[in-house]
Amino acid sequence: MTARLKDYYRSHVAAEMRRSRGYANAMQVPRLVKIVVNMGVGTDVERDVLKVVAEDLARIAGQRPVITNARKSISNFKLREGMPIGAKVTLRGDRMYEFLDRLVTAALPRIRDFRGVSGRSFDGRGNYTLGLQEQLIFPEIVPDQVKHVQGMDITFVTNAKSDAEAKELLQRLGMPFAK
């Protein structure tokens, strides 16, 4: 069984974008390649926060996260090379579309005073990064059991040629951009 948003992309979004942008071939239509969810803990590893963050990320994404390590030592941050500093999950396929569906329909509307996400966080190559302040907006997280509030970065990787194409794709998939 495929994800609801994946079916919607195939039946509506791809056809609408092909008409509006005038693509000659169906393979020219931009699509979502992957979603990367990253929670950086920094130097709080001593307090065993990383294990709790990884469990929360697994609940949110529905997939076990990978622990990320520091690439180089930075003495000002008391960071050594190889030290664990965060966790990340790369979502593809049905899990990616299900996560996007939950993010747009359930999580983002739970943010206080939410007026839409910024439309200026594109990287120039069609990828969009969204930063969230806390993991409590996801319905999978029980607020009473959270000991450490942690933010996260969510990166949407598309195969779009420009930021305008990627923004149109994400808008048609339901991403609420601020006006």
pLDDT at 45: 59
**Confidence band of 15 (pLDDT split at 50, 70, 90):** very high
pLDDT in tens, 104-163: 999 998 888 889 999 999 999 999 999 999 888 998 988 888 877 888 999 999 999 999
Whole-angstrom Cα distance, residue 86 to residue 65? 10
In Å, how far from its chain's centre is CA 6? 16
Domain ranges of the chain: 32-172
Burial category of 34 from C-beta neighbours within 10 Å (exposed 0-12, middle 13-18, buried 19 and up): middle
| Chain centre distance of CA 84 | 21
Closest CA to 83 of 72, 95, 91, 98: 72
Which residue from 41, 36, 84, 86 is spatially nearest to 61, judged by alpha carbons? 36
- Chain centroid to Cα 117, Å, comes to 12
CATH fold of 32-172, please? Answer: 50s Ribosomal Protein L5; Chain: A, (3.30.1440)
Amino acid present at 160: A
142's CB contacts (< 8 A; 6+ apart) are none
Pairing of strands 32-40, 84-91: antiparallel
Taking residue 125's Cβ as centre, other Cβ atoms within 10 Å add up to 13
H/E element holding 153? strand 152-158
pLDDT tens-digit profile of 57-97?
Answer: 999 999 999 999 889 988 887 888 988 889 999 999 999 99
Q: Whole-prediction pTM value?
A: 0.90
102: nearest Cα among 177, 154, 178: 154
- What 8-state DSSP symbol labels residue 156? E
Q: How far is CA 5 from CA 20, 94, 141, 175, in A?
A: 20, 9, 22, 12
Looking at residue 47, what is its pLDDT? 60
Q: What is the pLDDT of residue 161?
A: 94
Residue 103 reports pLDDT greater than 90 = yes
The predicted pLDDT at position 43 comes to 66
pLDDT at position 51, please? 87
Q: Residues 28-46: pLDDT tens digits?
A: 999 999 999 999 887 665 5
